[in-house]
Homo-oligomer: A and B are copies of this chain.
Amino acid sequence: MDRIPENCPVDDALGVLVGKWKHMILLYLLQEGTKRFNELKRMMPGITQKMLTKQLRELEDEGIIQRKVYAQVPPKVEYSITEYGRSLEPVLQAMHEWGVKHTMRRDVKQDQIKSS
């Protein structure tokens, strides 16, 4: 982290990850490779087609994931991480590690409240 930037790079990174399901999609595609639309949908209970489509489009527009359409009936569309998308792995990694610690600390805080 050199200087505080005028147009913050951290903002850019945050931008592509913010969205209720985006990081989930990325984690799934990173860990389990190529997935079809409905496979992703099934993996995220609660998400609607509209939202899944939207977030996939946004990630695609950013160049983070790839969309491959098979010309067949019934339709088949596969999504996968791009090379560029893999560059986000350290970021997700850092967030995941912090999240694990955070959850632990939250438990500690709960204990402190209980014992006070």
Contact = CB atoms under 8 A, between A and B. Distances in A.
A95 to B, nearest CB: 4
Contacts of A24: 8
A112 to B, nearest CB: 11
A4 B23 CA distance: 11
Contacts of A17: 14
Interface residues of A, number: 40
Task: Determine chain A's interface SS by DSSP, over half rule.
Answer: helix
A103 interface: yes
A47 interface: no
Interface of A: 1, 4, 7-14, 16-18, 23-24, 27-28, 30-31, 63, 84, 87-103, 105, 109
